[in-house]
Structures are given as C-alpha cells and as structure tokens.
Amino acid sequence: MTQYQDEAAALMPLYNAIGSHVRTSGCQHRDLCPRVMASALVVDEHDRVLALWEAHYSRWGLPRLLPDAADASLFETAERAAKCTTGIGEVYQLASITGPVDIEFRRDIRGREARLTYIFRFLFRSYSYELPQPDTGHIQWREIRELVPPRIESRLRTEYLAESRWSRHSGLAV
C-alpha cells in the first residue's frame, strides 16, 4: 500500500481493525475504529499549496473529507475535497502517481480513549487562476512549508513537482 517504511508500520492498527471487522462481521470497537479520510494536496504553478482556514483549530489546513458511498476510491474522495470544499475549477494529476503521496495518522483523544485517524493525501496540480476568489477569506494559496512536514516537502520537490507530464484525472481508481 505504501512505499515508505514509517508509513507501513503506522498502518498496522488500521490493518488490524479491518481484519477484526471481517472476522466478527461488524464493529466491536465502541465507535473507536480507525477513521479514514482523504486529503487533496493541490499545488499551483508557483509551488504553493491550496489551503482552507480551519476556524476550529485556528490554523490553515489541507482540504479533506470522509469518503462517501458515491466515491469509488480514496482518490475520488480527495478530488472531491479539492473541488467541492474550495470551489476550484479543475485539478490535474501526474500520470505516474497511482497512490497517496503521504499518509498522516493522528490520535484524536476523546475522554480517556483515543481514536486513530488516517489521512491519505493525494497530489494534484492546478493553476492559481482556477480558484474563484484568489487569496481571500478562508481559501488561499500558501507556501508548502507552512502546511506539510519537511520530509513531505522534500519528497514533493524531488519526486513529483519537477515532473512535467500532468494530465486531467481520467477516472483512475486507487
């Protein structure tokens, strides 16, 4: 599922929960199962990232959504997050990318119990002019280093952003 060792180890609780659900034909985890989300890492021609203001946390974040029944894949959920939550017109993908460029995991503490959340980030390109109201209000183009950890920024710069073969999404399921 992932080519990076640190992410593979972090995914074990998710694999274990899925296995448990299959064996018991349902959830026995009192609503503490790992939650899966998809996030869009949309980069413009100036290598800035499309960000949403998260008022609840008082910070800028990447567009993300929970999958719904209409999404055929996490990739489609991420694409929907890019377009629906920001109003951006069009996003493009790199044909050679067939999966997420990053998997973030975090523990959400609720009372004395913790729930894991996995956020699968997919990379898209777009043009800054595709944003209906550029750089105003709660949607802005921000510097990459403000929104992604240094290891991800370096991965993006060395592996993906230099690539020139970007194309419109062709319905590729991940």
Burial class (CB within 10 angstroms; exposed 0-12, middle 13-18, buried 19+) of 75: buried
Helix or strand holding residue 4 (H, E): none
Contact by Cβ (8 Å): 43, 145: no
The pLDDT, as a whole number, for residue 1 is 46
Helix (H, G, I), strand (E, B) or coil at 170: coil
pLDDT at 62: 93
Query: Of 126, 62, 118, whose CA–CA distance to 92 is shortest?
Result: 126
* Distance (Å, whole) CA 174 – CA 71: 11
Distance CA(52)–CA(63), nearest Å, equals 6
Q: What is the pLDDT of residue 129?
A: 85
Backbone angles phi, psi at 48, to 5 degrees: -105, 155
Q: What is the pLDDT of residue 23?
A: 59
Contact, 39 vs 62, CB < 8 A?
Answer: yes
- Residues in the chain predicted with pLDDT less than 50, given as ranges, are 1, 169-174
User: Beta strands 113-125 and 102-110: pairing type?
Assistant: antiparallel
According to the model, what pLDDT value does residue 170 have?
39
* Per-position DSSP letters for 40-84, written without gaps between them: EEEE-TTSEEEEEEETTTTEEE--EE---TT-SSHHHHHHHHHHH
Question: Over the Cα atoms of the chain, what is R_g?
Answer: 17
CB 126 within 8 A of CB 50: yes
